[in-house]
Chain A
Amino acid sequence: MRLHQEILLTRYILRRILQGIPLLLIISFVLFILMMNMGDPVATMGGRRVTRSADYQRLKRQLGLDKPIEVQYIYWLIGNDWTKVDMDGDGVAETPGTRHGVLRGDFGTSLVNRGTAVLQVIGERIPNTLILMLASEAVVIFGALLVGVYSALRQYSFLDHAITALSFIGYSMPIFFIALLSMYVFGVMFKRWGLPFLPTIGMFDPQVGSSIWQVIYHMILPVVSMSVVSLASYSRYIRSTMLEVMNQDYIRTAKSKGLTRHTVIYIHALKNASLPIATVIGLDLPFLLGGAVITERIFAWPGMGRLFLDHVSRADTPVVMGILMLVAVAVVVFQIITDVIYAWLDPRIRYD
Chain B
Amino acid sequence: MPGWIPVSVTIDPGLYNMEPSTSIIPSLTPDDLETPPIGLGQLAWRRFRRHRPAIFGVIVLVLLFLYAFSGGFFFTEKYANFTDTSRRLLSPSAAHPFGTDTIGRDVLARSIYGGQISLLIGLTAVTVETILGILVGALAGYYGGVIDSVLMRITEAMLNIPEIFLLIVMAKFFGGKIPEVAILGRSYSGSVVVIVVIIGLTSWMYLARIVRAEFLSLKENEFVLAARATGTKNLDIIFRHILPNSIAPIIVSATLGVANAILAEAYISFLGLGVQPPTATWGNMLDGANNYLDTAPWLWFFPGLLILLTVLSINFLGDGLRDALDPRSRAV
The answer to the question of B113 belonging to the interface, with a C-beta cut-off of 8 Å to chain A, is no
How long is the Cα–Cα vector from A27 to B166 in the complex, in angstroms?
A: 11
The answer to the question of B128 belonging to the interface, with a C-beta cut-off of 8 Å to chain A, is no
The answer to the question of A138 belonging to the interface, with a C-beta cut-off of 8 Å to chain B, is no
The answer to the question of A298 belonging to the interface, with a C-beta cut-off of 8 Å to chain B, is yes
Residue count of chain A within 8 Å CB distance of chain B: 54
How long is the Cα–Cα vector from A35 to B161 in the complex, in angstroms?
A: 15
How long is the Cα–Cα vector from A308 to B167 in the complex, in angstroms?
A: 13
Task: Render B285-303 as a binary contact track against A, CB cut-off 8 A, 1 for contact.
Answer: 0100110011001001100
Do the beta carbons of B161 and A34 come within 8 Å of each other? no
The answer to the question of B27 belonging to the interface, with a C-beta cut-off of 8 Å to chain A, is no
Do the beta carbons of A180 and B300 come within 8 Å of each other? yes
B residues in contact with A233, CB < 8 Å: 332
How long is the Cα–Cα vector from A156 to B330 in the complex, in angstroms?
A: 15
Give the nearest-CB partner of B156 in chain A. A23
How long is the Cα–Cα vector from A320 to B170 in the complex, in angstroms?
A: 13
Given contacts A176-B266, A290-B164, A293-B164, contact A184 B153 (CB under 8 A): no
Given contacts A174-B267, A240-B330, contact A34 B169 (CB under 8 A): yes
The answer to the question of B44 belonging to the interface, with a C-beta cut-off of 8 Å to chain A, is no
How long is the Cα–Cα vector from A194 to B153 in the complex, in angstroms?
A: 57
Q: Which of these, A26, A174, A240, contacts B332 with CB under 8 Å? A: A240
B interface, size bucket: 35 or more
Stretch at the interface among A104-112, A120-128, A324-332: A324-332
The minimal Cβ–Cβ distance linking A335 to chain B, given in whole angstroms, is 9
Task: Render A154-189 as a binary contact track against B, CB cut-off 8 A, 1 for contact.
Answer: 000000000001001101111111011101100110
A residues in contact with B178, CB < 8 Å: none
The answer to the question of B259 belonging to the interface, with a C-beta cut-off of 8 Å to chain A, is yes
How long is the Cα–Cα vector from A240 to B289 in the complex, in angstroms?
A: 38
How long is the Cα–Cα vector from A193 to B174 in the complex, in angstroms?
A: 47
How long is the Cα–Cα vector from A327 to B305 in the complex, in angstroms?
A: 31
Give the nearest-CB partner of A241 in chain B. B332
The answer to the question of A294 belonging to the interface, with a C-beta cut-off of 8 Å to chain B, is yes
Q: Which of these, B160, B165, B307, B331, contacts A23 with CB under 8 Å? A: B160
Give the nearest-CB partner of A330 in chain B. B160
Provide a sorted-by-A list of 8 A–B residue pairs whose CB atoms are within 8 angstroms. Answer: A35-B169, A172-B315, A176-B290, A179-B290, A233-B332, A293-B165, A294-B164, A294-B270
B residues touching A (Cβ–Cβ < 8 Å)?
Answer: 53, 153-154, 156-157, 160-165, 168-170, 172-174, 259, 263, 266-267, 270-271, 286, 289-290, 293-294, 297, 300-301, 304-305, 307-308, 311-312, 314-316, 319, 330-332
Counting from the closest, the 4 A-B pairs by CB-CB distance are A290-B162, A177-B304, A236-B332, A172-B312
